[in-house]
């Protein structure tokens, strides 16, 4: 596969605007190739420097190139020792046809020659020992890019009387203007990348490409690690983690296009990374980066009531508030003497100094409907301020509301509420979900909830967690240890016993049978609470009873294959099924399938795999389908509690209801 220029990060840290700048800056890693020559890691670019003696091996550096300069020069500053060198030019490969071309070469160092008249640098192969000056013939054996990862492309034919008559030809590099590139591999080049219409909650990203292409963008904090082109397209930053937001769109050749990015926080700094890939899979030479800051928020017309705490006890409190439109409500608790936070700090869950609040949460609010939120680990007998802000889908905010409370245990206990068995979610956070089933023993003391959540890890891979939850009688909640598993049975592999790992604690606090607050506590991280509710598989699905003869809702398994399982729910005639298992390397993975039941006891559908979505305690971002058809599964049910599952490889396994 041909290597490309693709791994330069066009920081666009310009002295003026992106449309009228005098220099452009790139964050690069370089290695010394010879005296006054450095190669940019992950690319085909060679830099010619002057009086540069820094020994570099994948060294981090800042490369600044003059824009529209006839000499195409600049400077490079090495991060470690802050040494700075002049850059006389940047050279990259070009598309060339097979055949011969004449060059007037002067030897430089380490197999490099220069033709100053043609602005060429010629690289000999590693076996070449020639130190030569004079006319030579460059012979390319085949058409294509004039550098192909160090492969021998042809030969350098020196004068017949030279001690060494010829050497292998490894590359021909032409001086190029990095600030206004024409990608040598015909990839789409970006230009005029910048932002406009910056508000407290949104921004418009603008870009132009040299050809019809798909543009990919990542929104990240100013401290995020810069990604490669490939990572931008995949939707992860330079450390492999998910960005704040990501998206893509179409660009028409030579036409500036805009893309709206919303749900930003006021008074915040951001950067956007942009890359292109055309229909042939070719990426542009440079990935652009531009930064901006949002102004302060202006209060919208969202009406929000003062949050009220109606019950407290057993370290928990139940509060409620009402918004006059659909929104997400954000709350946090601070000591009464703490300085008052602003709107954006309440949403971010930090105090006025920026320190994280230990008690914070969020959840969806329906217009003009009182919404309850459970607060766990609440301090008793100490004055506190409860702050709340609502934000709608357009990124508009309510005023900050707060109430001052001193919590004392209530005289009454909370009724024991059982969750409805089935799928749960936060409707503002599509792409992750929760499987919940209670065993209903008839004695609340012995009731347990078997809980699982499917989501994503920091690298964007799918991951799942489980917990067996015990009831905390009189507080309306369930609690337990959150576990993750590895090294178990894959989709089409032989059984093997998995290993469990303690991840943290989970508390499920019931508001009613279809609404709850979920709190996750991970050691070393502050707890996070968010509201969840029953998931309608289809429109009005919660009002549709399963057709007669359908399988029971809840957990299913093969008793000889402990460690992987299936959660099944049917609403009306539509089934939503998750398979919790492992990939061939033993890492946890989950697959989803949704389809209509062919009959009450027969189901067939494709398994779908997702990635790059929301992590366990992280901010929301939309996942991507990483495999739309892992394979087809078939389920035949003998009765409501027993059946057979046919896997994509054709193997049939008996499944039954999991009794816990």
pLDDT tier, 94 (very low <50, low <70, confident <90, very high otherwise): confident
Lowest mean pLDDT among 242-256, 318-332, 482-496, 537-551: 242-256
Q: Which residues of 506-537 are buried (b: 16+ CB within 10 A; e: fewer)?
A: bbbbbbeebbbbbbbbeeeeebbbbbbbbbbb
Q: How much is the average pLDDT of 58-64?
A: 76
Which helix (H) or strand (E) segment holds residue 607: the answer is strand 602-611
Would you state the pLDDT for residue 324?
93
Would you state the pLDDT for residue 5?
30
Q: Report the chain's mean pLDDT, rounded to a whole number.
A: 85
Question: Which three-class secondary structure string do you get for 353-410?
Answer: CCCECCEEEEEEECCCCCEEEEEECCCCCCEEEEEEEEECCCCCEECCEEEEEECCCC
User: Structure pTM?
Assistant: 0.61
Q: Which of 227, 224, 203, 225 is nearest to 216 (CA)?
A: 227
Among 55-64, 115-124, 298-307, name the most confident range. 115-124
Would you state the pLDDT for residue 20?
33
Would you state the pLDDT for residue 225?
75
Q: How much is the average pLDDT of 625-646?
A: 96
Q: How much is the average pLDDT of 200-229?
A: 84
Which helix (H) or strand (E) segment holds residue 550: the answer is none
3-state secondary structure of 445: helix
Lowest mean pLDDT among 96-100, 596-600, 609-613, 650-654: 96-100
Would you state the pLDDT for residue 8?
33
Residue 547 vs residues 593, 596, 603, 640: alpha-carbon distances, Å: 19, 11, 13, 11
Q: Which of 334, 456, 325 is nearest to 397 (CA)?
A: 325
Percentage with pLDDT > 90 across the chain: 45
Question: What pLDDT, in 10s, does the model give residues 439-454?
Answer: 988 787 889 999 999 9
Does residue 580 have a pLDDT over 70? yes
Q: How much is the average pLDDT of 226-244?
A: 82
CATH class name, domain 190-293 = mainly beta
**What are 291's two structure tokens?**
């930064």
Angle CA 507–377–411, to nearest 5 = 100
Q: Report the Cα 551 to chain-centroid distance in Å.
A: 36
Q: Which of 331, 313, 319 is nearest to 379 (CA)?
A: 313
Does residue 44 have a pLDDT over 80? no
Does residue 542 have a pLDDT over 70? yes
Torsion, Cα 264 342 519 329, to 10 degrees, reads -70
Instruction: Please name the residue that has the structure tokens 């192969």.
Output: 125
CATH class name, domain 308-406 = mainly beta
* Under 8 Å between Cβ of 398 and 389: yes
**What are 121's two structure tokens?**
């640098």
Does residue 482 have a pLDDT over 80? yes
Q: How much is the average pLDDT of 298-313?
A: 82
Q: Which residues contact 443 (CB under 8 A, 6 or more apart)?
A: none
CA atoms of 375 and 589, how far apart (whole Å): 31
Q: How much is the average pLDDT of 140-151?
A: 84
Would you state the pLDDT for residue 299?
56
Would you state the pLDDT for residue 14?
28
Would you state the pLDDT for residue 72?
65
Intrachain domains 190-293 and 308-406 with the same fold: yes
- Give the residue extent of every domain in the chain: 96-173, 190-293, 308-406, 419-510+538-660
Q: How much is the average pLDDT of 244-267?
A: 88
Q: Is 183 exposed, middle or buried (0-12, 13-18, 19+ CB in 10 A)?
A: buried
Instruction: Please name the residue that has the structure tokens 């570099």.
Output: 56
Q: How much is the average pLDDT of 386-395?
A: 89
Does residue 154 have a pLDDT over 90? yes
Does residue 300 have a pLDDT over 80? no
């Amino acid at each position: 596969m041909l290597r490309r220029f693709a791994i330069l990060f066009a920081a666009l840290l310009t002295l003026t605007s992106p449309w009228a700048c005098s220099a452009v800056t790139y964050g690069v890693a370089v290695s010394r190739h010879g005296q006054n020559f450095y190669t940019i890691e992950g690319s085909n670019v060679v830099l010619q420097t002057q009086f540069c003696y820094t020994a570099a091996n994948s060294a981090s550096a800042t490369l600044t190139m003059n824009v529209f300069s006839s000499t195409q020069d600049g400077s490079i500053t090495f991060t470690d020792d802050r040494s700075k060198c002049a850059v006389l030019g940047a050279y990259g490969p070009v598309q060339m046809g097979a055949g011969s071309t004449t060059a007037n070469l002067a030897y430089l160092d380490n197999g490099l020659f220069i033709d100053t008249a043609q602005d060429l640098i010629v690289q000999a192969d590693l076996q070449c020992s020639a130190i030569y000056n004079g006319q030579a013939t460059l012979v390319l054996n085949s058409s294509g890019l004039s550098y192909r990862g160090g492969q021998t492309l042809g030969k350098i034919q020196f004068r017949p009387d030279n001690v060494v008559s010829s050497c292998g030809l490894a590359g021909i590099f032409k001086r190029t203007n990095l600030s206004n590139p024409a990608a040598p591999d015909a990839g789409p080049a970006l230009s005029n990348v910048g932002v406009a219409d910056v508000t407290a909650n949104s921004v418009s990203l603008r870009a132009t490409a040299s050809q019809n292409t798909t543009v990919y963008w990542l929104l990240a904090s100013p401290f995020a690690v810069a990604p490669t082109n490939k990572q931008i397209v995949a939707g992860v930053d330079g450390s492999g983690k998910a960005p704040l937001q990501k998206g893509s769109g179409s660009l028409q050749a030579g036409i500036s296009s805009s893309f709206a990015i919303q749900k930003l926080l006021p008074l915040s700094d951001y950067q956007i990374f942009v890359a292109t890939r055309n229909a042939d899979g070719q990426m542009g030479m440079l990935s652009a980066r531009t930064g901006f800051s949002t102004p302060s928020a202006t209060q919208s017309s969202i009406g929000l009531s003062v949050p009220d705490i109606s019950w407290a006890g057993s370290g928990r409190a139940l509060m409620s508030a009402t918004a006059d439109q659909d929104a997400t409500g954000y709350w946090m608790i601070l000591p009464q003497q703490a300085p008052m936070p602003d709107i954006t700090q309440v949403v971010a869950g930090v105090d006025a100094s920026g320190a994280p609040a230990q008690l914070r949460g969020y959840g969806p609010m329906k217009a003009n409907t009182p919404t309850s939120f459970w607060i766990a680990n609440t301090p008793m007998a100490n004055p506190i301020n409860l702050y709340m802000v609502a934000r709608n889908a357009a990124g508009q905010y309510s005023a900050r509301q707060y109430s001052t409370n001193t919590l004392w245990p209530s005289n009454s206990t909370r009724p024991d509420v059982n969750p409805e068995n089935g799928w749960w979610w936060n409707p503002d956070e599509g792409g992750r979900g929760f499987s919940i089933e209670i065993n209903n023993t008839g004695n609340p003391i012995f009731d347990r909830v078997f809980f699982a959540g499917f989501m994503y890890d920091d690298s964007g891979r799918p991951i799942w967690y489980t917990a067996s939850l015990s009831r905390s009688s009189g507080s309306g909640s369930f609690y337990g240890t959150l576990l993750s598993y590895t090294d178990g049975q894959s989709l089409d592999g032989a059984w093997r016993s998995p290993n469990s790992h303690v991840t943290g604690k989970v508390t499920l606090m019931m508001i009613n049978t279809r609404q709850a607050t979920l709190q996750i506590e991970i050691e070393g991280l502050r707890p996070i609470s968010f509201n969840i509710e029953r998931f309608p598989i289809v429109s009005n699905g919660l009002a549709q009873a399963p057709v007669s003869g359908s399988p029971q809702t809840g957990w299913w398994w093969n008793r000889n294959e402990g460690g992987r399982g299936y959660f099944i729910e049917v609403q009306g005639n539509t089934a939503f099924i998750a398979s919790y298992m492992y990939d061939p390397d033993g890492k946890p993975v989950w697959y989803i399938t949704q389809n209509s039941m062919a009959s009450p006891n027969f189901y067939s559908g494709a398994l779908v795999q997702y990635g790059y979505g929301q992590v366990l305690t992280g901010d929301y971002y939309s996942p991507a389908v990483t495999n739309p058809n892992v394979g087809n599964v078939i389920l035949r049910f003998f009765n409501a509690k027993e059946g057979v599952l046919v896997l994509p490889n054709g193997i049939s396994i008996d499944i039954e209801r999991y009794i816990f």
